[in-house]
Amino acid sequence: MSDENKQYLEFIQHTINRMASNSFYIKGFSVTVLSAIFAIFANNPYKYILIVGYFPTISSWLLDTYYLQLERQYRNLYNDATGITTYKPVSTYDLNAKDYILEDDKFYKIAISFSQILTYPPILAILTFLLIFFKPDSK
């Protein structure tokens, strides 16, 4: 393998790593924001505070799904560049991965993938449970 090809594969790998770290940071940010919302709710038990928790959770879910989709696209490009698969001809230093969305890489399939389902629906379930069943103490 030539030095040019190695450099090209490193570019793709760095992009894949960046998408994976973005996804990780989004999950961490979502948990941090929700922890703050729960802390505020613990001090001020008003149900409308819980409703605010839906917005960062849903937006984080969508953004996380987007970055996971990009990561998969770049993995597919990497596989083509190394010759593991042949989805389409790859020219050296072409980092455009928009044509690498496969059937399993559709946005809605990634949104309901194992890693996403174990993260965001439980948070939404907790918010909904508290919203429905929490009765603040009347003084």
Which carries the bigger pLDDT value, residue 69 or residue 83?
69
**pTM score, two decimals?**
0.86
What residue numbers bound the domain in which 38 lies?
3-133
Which carries the bigger pLDDT value, residue 27 or residue 93?
27
| Amino acid in position 123 | I
Per-residue model confidence as pLDDT tens digits over 100-135: 888 888 999 999 999 999 999 999 999 999 999 887
Q: Answer whether residue 44 is part of any domain.
A: yes
Quote the number of domains for the chain.
1
Integer Cα distance of 36 and 105 in angstroms = 33
The pLDDT value recorded for residue 3 is 79
Q: Answer whether residue 99 is part of any domain.
A: yes
Per-residue model confidence as pLDDT tens digits over 38-82: 999 888 888 888 999 999 999 999 999 999 999 999 999 898 888
CA 78 vs CA 27, 101, 138: distances in Å? 25, 13, 60
Q: Answer whether residue 16 is part of any domain.
A: yes
